[in-house]
Amino acid sequence: MSQQHETVNGAVETVGHGAAEAAAHGHGGEFDAGEFIFHHILDSQTMEVPWGEIHLPTLHLGPYSLPVTRQVVMMWLAAVIILGLAWLATRRRSQQPRGVQNLLESMVVFVRDELARKNIGAHGDRYTSYLLSTFIFILLCNLLGLMPYGATATGNIAVTAGLAGMAFLMIQWAGIREFGVLGHCRNLIPPGLPAWLLPIMIPVEILGMFTKPFALCVRLFANMTAGHVIILSLFSLVFILKSVLVGAFLSVPFALFINGIELLVAFLQAYIFTMLTALFIGMSAYPEH
């Protein structure tokens, strides 16, 4: 509970800094709640730190400009943490895992047994590495967004679209690996379907190939954005109503409650995205199950 208080206290400091900036953009010096909320949930090339702001650089790759944003930094940080955990877990191998090795081993067993094997089948182990990488990366991005001065990379639809695109490729590759291109295409149509239904079912099934990753993309983006919008809206009430009592008895208590729910959602959404990806892979590679 004390850790949650520290997190929210840090968030209040961040919010207060953003509120001043948002108010400066308001009409007539009044607080602009919309500007305040979008300032925190949208991506930018400035990263807030306790002593101010850091302006992030733009990388140049030939004729292309690649701006480094705060959400990109969060994804890089998530990748560094994953590599660091992997190094700590594998530098000393023993029959009795301890510490980080025990933590990662339990996560591997969970993804393998509860997600890969249950949703894909006996050959689910071959997809465990991909599913584990997806689960840990999404989880870390979600959790980093709850840290003070952090940013939620999975609250950017471009990031979730990239994850969903990778899932789409894995789903199609799993089917093609088992049946070949023609066999995979034939499996899209349920066997024994009357010929007169084919002109209707073929477009529907092709559309279904793309709606599955689209649903993954939108679900993760919407759930990770909604919680932040609610918390920021609660804090906005303090500045709109200009009352300390509103903050003490309404905004901060409810923000603590929503922050606890957000912690649960961070784990839940990583699980749901990975579980549905495994389910779609199983439907593509082993449609008879």
pLDDT at 4: 41
Q: How far apart are CA 37 and CA 200, in angstroms?
A: 44
Dihedral of CA atoms 46, 47, 51, 55 in degrees, nearest 10, equals: -40
Residue 90's alpha-carbon distances to 64, 97, 128, 271, in angstroms, are: 38, 10, 18, 24
Residues of the chain with pLDDT under 70: 1-29, 94-95, 97, 288-289
Q: In the prediction, which pLDDT does 122 show? A: 79
CA 279 to chain CA centroid, nearest Å: 18
Q: How far, CA to CA in Å, does 43 sit from each of 18, 40, 119, 239?
A: 14, 8, 35, 23
Please report the pLDDT score of residue 281 as a whole number.
93
Give all strands (DSSP E) within the chain, no chain letters.
46-49, 52-55, 58-61, 64-67
**What residues does each domain of the chain span?**
2-285
Q: What is the C-alpha to C-alpha distance for residues 25 and 29, in angstroms, rounded to an integer?
A: 7
pTM score above 0.85: no
User: Which pLDDT does position 237 carry in this prediction?
Assistant: 82
Q: State residue 220's pLDDT score.
A: 93
In 62-123, DSSP assigns E strands to 64-67
Measured CA distances, 222 to 41, 134, 174 (Å): 12, 18, 28
Rounded distance, CA 234 to CA 11, Å? 12
**Which residues are CB-contacts of 189 (< 8 A; sequence separation ≥ 6)?**
198, 201, 202, 205
Closest by alpha carbon to 218, among 278, 156, 142, 274?
156
